Amino acid sequence: MTDATDNGPVLAADGSPLKRSLGRALRRQKLRALALVAPLLIFVLITFIFPIASMLFRSVQNDIASNTLPYTVQALAKWDAESSDLPAEEVYQAMYFDMFLAAEAKRHTRLGTRLNYEQTGISSLFRQSGRKLDDLGKDIERVLGKLNSDWKDGRTWYNLLNAGQGTADTELLNVQRNRVVALTDRSVSGNLNFSPSAEMAELLPATTKAYTVWVVYTATQSDKDPATKSPWEAIPVALALDLQTTDLSGYSGTAADLLIQAQAANLPLPTFTKAFAEIDEDWATAIPWKTIQTHSGIYTSGYFLNAVDAQKTPQGIAWQPEDKQILLTLFVRTLIMSLVITGSCILLGYPIAWLLANLPMRQANVLLILVLLPFWTSLLVRTSAWKVMLQQQGVINDVLVWIGFVADDGRLIMINNQFGTIVAMTHILLPFMILPMYSVMQTIPPSYLRAAKSLGATNWTAFWRVYFPQSVPGIGAGSILVFILAIGYYITPEIVGGTKGVFISNRIAYHISSSLNWGLAAALGTILLAAVLVLYWAYDRIVGIDNVKLG
């Protein structure tokens, strides 16, 4: 053995050091394994993990106020909600232009609905104001039209504000594009044939801003040519606003005479504060402003607070009004009913598992079919069976009347209440309890019981001191499994639970499909998910996820 004295590296067949060669082979093996897993992993990440993550994100996301009323939120940030003053005129002014655009895009009601979760009455306030905002500009538009009929022509506005050959204010254009995207959630790509003139942005800032956003909206969302179309009433209002302060003396460009004439005419511009107060007197109170300010952050804990019956107020966190507190009750009810269901599954499952584990194999297999058949039967079949059986005119009541146990007019109410949910769900989840218990009990040698008895234990002592402690892992595994499945159940409580027997998941479904309060639904879902994950972590520690067996 001359090799034994050779201290050089061991070489592989191709002459490279064995260590490196092995390392390369291992790396290749790892890569191949990953390549096999990758398609599925990517698929699950995109179609499952990402949606769940975005749901979690949605439970704190709150950009609706800043998307719908960007300039108002900005102006309102300076206002001190604690002071007794109303917000400044500039806030009302920003609100007018923001609200006008939102109303044209029919997005103001969405924000109204969102804020209504926090402050009742905001929804109708927003809806009405959106409708009445047009009136404010009508007078100014009429006066302008009388001064010179050119103002009625869309091309006058276009020529006045389009940069054409002059310098364009591209930043303003981009800001307004993004504003429309944020507001409508739709793409604004496409050629506008317009860029705001930098000179005008300097001279008539409000008009240029209002006109630019109108062009972006009109060209991309309603497919019309802004060059010939007459703009919204908000633009004459903006013009009137600009003409109050701007100095036209140095200006001699497009339509200079028109502007000078309009400035001299003193357009009938009301104060926005008064105009809003006329639309609805609520605007002259601090309430809507406080609500907007409180909920204008991009992220919010508001949905989570709502999920536990609390709410965010300008003064801080407070409980919801008494009559709106239902969710904590529902959480507690979900927990209690899941515990009751788990308990009844243990009570009913234990004897069955014991019987199956102690019968001869052949008989046990036959009886196991009775457990597996319901397990394999469609959930809806079993739920409909319970609905049919528990009805007042159903099979169970009929049998009870026939035996004479209850009178015909005293039929028991067993459905659309907690009893119905508990019975049906115990039945549905029972196999999930029996199967883990059975597999644990199969491993307990029957000789232990015989040994205990031969040492003088009574039947009960032998069972309780010897057999039962060894079957506890089975009970634990089954209980956690049943409990986890129970707290997330939706279908069965929805059908047999009525109003008293529903779970938190039914509330989530309600907020998704009926009340459309998706943020709250996401927050409720996040809380439920966290609870389930903690339980699964416990399950993994106790039993190990790998031991999950099917059928």
Partner 1 sequence: MGLPPYATLGQRVWYYTFRVICALIFIFLITPILVVMPLSFNAQDFFTFTPEMLRLDPAGYSLKHYEDFFTNSEWQRSLKNSLIIAPIATVISVSLGTLAAIGLSQSHVPFKGTIMAILISPMIVPLIISATGMFFFYSSLGNWMESNLGLDKNFVGYIKVILAHAVLGIPFVIITVTATLVGFDQSLTRAAANMGANPVTTFFRVQMPLILPGVISGGLFAFITSFDEVVVVLFVGSAGQKTLPWQMFTGLREQISPTILAVATLLVVISIALLTVVELLRRRSEKLRGMSPG
Name which of residues 421 to 480 contact partner 1 (CB under 8 A): 427, 430-431, 446, 459
Give 31 or 332: the residue with its C-beta nearer to partner 1: 31
Q: Which tokens go with 407?
A: 């009178």
The least CB distance from residue 344 to partner 1, in Å, is 10
User: Of residues 48, 405, 448, 468, which one binds partner 1 by CB under 8 A?
Assistant: 48
Bridge-based pairing state of the strands 316-319 and 310-313? antiparallel
Of 6-14, 26-34, 65-73, 222-230, the window that binds partner 1 (rule: CB under 8 A) is 26-34
Least distance CB 382 / partner 1 (angstroms) = 6
Q: How far is the CB of 259 from partner 1 (least distance, A)?
A: 41
Q: Where does residue 223 fall: left (phi above 0), alpha (psi -120 to 50 degrees), or beta otherwise?
A: left
Which x/- pattern, by CB under 8 A, does the window 87-126 give for partner 1? ----------------------------------------
SS3 317: strand
Instruction: Give min distance, CB of 121 to partner 1, in A.
Output: 28
Q: Which stretch binds partner 1 (CB under 8 A): 212-220, 230-238, 470-478, 524-532?
A: 524-532
> In Å, how far are 122, 474, 538 from 439, measured between CA atoms?
59, 8, 20
**Where does residue 249 rank: exposed (0-12), middle (13-18), buried (19+ CB within 10 A)?**
exposed
Q: How far is the CB of 454 from partner 1 (least distance, A)?
A: 13
Kindly give, in sequence order, each residue whose CB lies less than 8 Å from that of residue 294, ignoring residues fewer than 6 positions away. 81, 118, 312, 313, 314
Count of residues engaged in binding partner 1, rule: CB under 8 A: 89
Q: Which is nearer to partner 1, 33 or 298 (CB)?
A: 33
Binders of partner 1 in range 527-546 (CB under 8 A): 528-529, 532-533, 536, 545
Tell which one of 9, 17, 23, 51 touches partner 1 (CB under 8 A). 51
Please report how close the Cβ of residue 531 comes to partner 1 at its closest, in angstroms: 9
Buried b (16+ CB within 10 A) or exposed e, 320-351: beeeeeebeebbebbbebbebbbebbbeebbe
Q: What are phi and psi of 139, to 5 degrees?
A: -65, -45
C-beta separation of 385 from 379 below 8 A: no
C-beta of 32 vs 146, nearer to partner 1 = 32
Q: Which two tokens stand for residue 330?
A: 């529902």
Pick between residue 156 and residue 470 the one whose CB is nearest to partner 1: 470
> In the bound complex, what is the minimum distance in angstroms from residue 371's beta carbon to partner 1?
6
At its nearest, how many Å lie between partner 1 and the CB of residue 405? Answer: 16
Distance CA 411, CA 405 (A): 10
Q: Binding partner 1 by CB under 8 A: which of 8, 15, 39, 445?
A: 39
Cα diameter, the chain: 117
Return the residues of window 319-358 that contact partner 1 according to CB under 8 A. Answer: 348, 351-352, 355, 358
Sole window of 31-39, 160-168, 208-216, 245-253 interacting with partner 1 (rule: CB under 8 A): 31-39
With beta carbons less than 8 A apart as the criterion, state whether 550 and 435 touch: no
The nearest distance, CB 380 to partner 1, in angstroms, is: 5
Q: C-beta of 471: minimal distance to partner 1 in Å? A: 16
The answer to whether the CB of 270 falls within 8 A of the CB of 194 is no
| The binder of partner 1 chosen from 11, 49, 318, 413 (CB under 8 A) | 49
- 206-236: b (≥16 Cβ within 10 Å) or e: bbbbbbbbbbbbbbbbeeeebbebbbbbbbb
How many alpha carbons fall within 13 Å on the CB side of residue 403?
A: 8
Site for partner 1 in 148-187 (CB under 8 A): none
* Least spacing, CB of residue 8 vs partner 1, in Å: 28
State which residue, 72 or 391, has the beta carbon closest to partner 1: 391
CA distance 160 to 376: 74
Burial zone of 91 (CB within 10 Å; 0-12 exposed, 13-18 middle, 19+ buried): buried
Q: Which amino acid is at 374?
A: P
Residue choice 10, 41, 472, 534 for contact with partner 1 (CB under 8 A)? 41
| Of residues 291 and 426, the one with the C-beta less far from partner 1 | 426
Q: Which residues within the stretch 351-410 sit at the binding site for partner 1 (CB under 8 A)?
A: 351-352, 355, 358-359, 367, 369-374, 376-389, 391, 393-395, 398
The interface with partner 1 within residues 500-519 (CB under 8 A) comprises 505, 508-509, 512-513, 518
Considering only residues 482 through 501, tell me which ones interact with partner 1, judged by CB under 8 A: 484-485, 487-491, 494-495
- Quote the CA–CA distance of 480 and 532 in Å, as a whole number: 10
